[in-house]
Amino acid sequence: MGNFVKYSEAFVEYLQIEKNASPYTVKYYRNDLEIFFEFLDREGIRDLNEVGQRDIRIFLTNLYDKQLGRRSVSRKISSLRSFYRFLEREEMVNDNPFVNIYLPKASKTVPGFLYKEELEKLFEVNDMTKPLGQRDQAILELLYGTGIRVSECQGLSLRDVDFSIGTIFVKGKGRKERYVPFGRFAEIALETYIHDGRVKLLEKADTSSESVFLNARGKPLTTRGIRTILNKIVERAALTVHVHPHKLRHTFATHMLNEGADLRTVQELLGHESLSSTQIYTHVTKDHLRDVYMKSHPRANGKNLDL
């Protein structure tokens, strides 16, 4: 694999500097390249220019033999297509053998979301007289009230919260930044926690911290910690549904669209680069739209009209 390291490092540098890719994105590209390079080594291929259609078919077969799903395979093909496109631009290879390799797109899974009745149960279980209860309530209200990702929630610092105009400053994927408004319930929960519970948690630490959300020892909370907190809230609410942070994000988007928000606004609030990423939520709202139509349109339900 040593023969290919220089190409890999050049590509990673391009991702970081020109594409401003996040560390997570770079990590996935690296992993995809390593898998490809290991395959080339096994096949005795020492030059990226030697890779042909037959080699790629064998590579795909190997991926499926490892029980990888269609989505994972598609991502790897996309990564390698981008890799070769970069090498072509830099005149390191003559052509891109992945340019005509396309896998049929798997049907997009409709994201799960919570109904309002389920949400109400979640909001009722935290003990607001205790620091951890105040923190948990603030996390819950913020995730649902803004639709931010768990990593964005974990990364919030005190200076990112502006109570005067009711917004948080979010550093999202690909180092993209945006301002997201929050409502009255999130405001009350955040103020209560920051001015009371957080102060008490910070007293348990030997160092200060600007992170909004702290653990029981007064240290910055991790993304895994936030997921654990949500699981415990679900247990206390005696819900049978699985609630992960992203489900609250799905719920935020679905409820916004159901209540009449336009797709572009929801796209901006979620921090989606492409509108197609937001459009998946329109599938969730179709049943709602049909229900409204059937109840509202004079000639929808087949009843006789007195006109």
Which tens digits make up the pLDDT trace of 85-142?
999 999 999 889 988 887 656 555 656 788 788 888 999 999 999 999 999 999 999 9
Percent of the chain with pLDDT over 90: 45
Q: What is the pLDDT of residue 163?
A: 96
What number is the average pLDDT over the span 220-242? 89
Q: Is residue 36 scored above 90 in pLDDT? A: yes
**Per-range mean pLDDT, top range of 39-53, 79-93, 184-198:** 184-198
For the record, the structure tokens of 223 come out as 């993304």
Q: What is the pLDDT of residue 217?
A: 95
Q: What is the pLDDT of residue 287?
A: 59
For the record, the structure tokens of 52 come out as 């042909």
Q: What is the pLDDT of residue 3?
A: 65
The Cα–Cα gap between 196 and 185 comes to: 17
Q: What are phi and psi of 179, to 5 degrees?
A: -100, 135
Q: Which of 135, 249, 250, 255 is catalytic?
A: 249
Q: Label residue 25 by pLDDT band (50, 70, 90).
A: confident
Q: Which of 19, 232, 246, 288 is catalytic?
A: 246
Strand extents, DSSP E, the chain: 161-162, 167-171, 177-181
Say whether 173 is catalytic.
Answer: yes
Q: What is the pLDDT of residue 262?
A: 85
C-alpha R_g of the chain: 24
Q: Which of 135, 149, 198, 250 is catalytic?
A: 149
Q: Label residue 202 by pLDDT band (50, 70, 90).
A: very high
Residue keyed to tokens 């590509």: 11
Q: Which of 29, 144, 193, 281 is catalytic?
A: 281
Among the listed ranges 66-80, 98-112, 159-173, which one has the minimum average pLDDT value?
98-112
Q: What are phi and psi of 243, to 5 degrees?
A: -115, 115
The Cα–Cα gap between 171 and 153 comes to: 9
Can you name the residues that pair with 168 across neighbouring β-strands? 161, 180
**Domain 116-293: assigned CATH number:** 1.10.443.10
Say whether 272 is catalytic.
Answer: yes
Q: What's the mean per-residue pLDDT of the chain?
A: 86
CATH class of the domain defined by 2-89: mainly alpha
Q: Are 74 and 105 in contact (CB under 8 A)?
A: yes
In the chain, CATH 1.10.150 covers 2-89
| DSSP string across 65-109 | HTT--HHHHHHHHHHHHHHHHHHHHTTSSS--TTTT--PPPPPPP
For the record, the structure tokens of 12 come out as 């990673």
Using CA atoms in the order 295, 301, 304, 305, what is the torsion angle rounded to 10 degrees?
A: 40
Q: Which of 76, 247, 255, 272 is catalytic?
A: 272
Say whether 135 is catalytic.
Answer: no
Q: Are 52 and 98 in contact (CB under 8 A)?
A: no
Say whether 246 is catalytic.
Answer: yes
Q: What is the pLDDT of residue 303?
A: 53
Say whether 249 is catalytic.
Answer: yes
In the chain, CATH 1.10.443.10 covers 116-293
Q: What is the largest CA-CA distance in the chain?
A: 81
- Sign of the CA dihedral running 75, 81, 85, 90: positive
Q: Which of 171, 173, 219, 236 is catalytic?
A: 173
Percent of the chain with pLDDT over 70: 88
Q: Label residue 58 by pLDDT band (50, 70, 90).
A: very high
Q: What is the pLDDT of residue 139?
A: 96
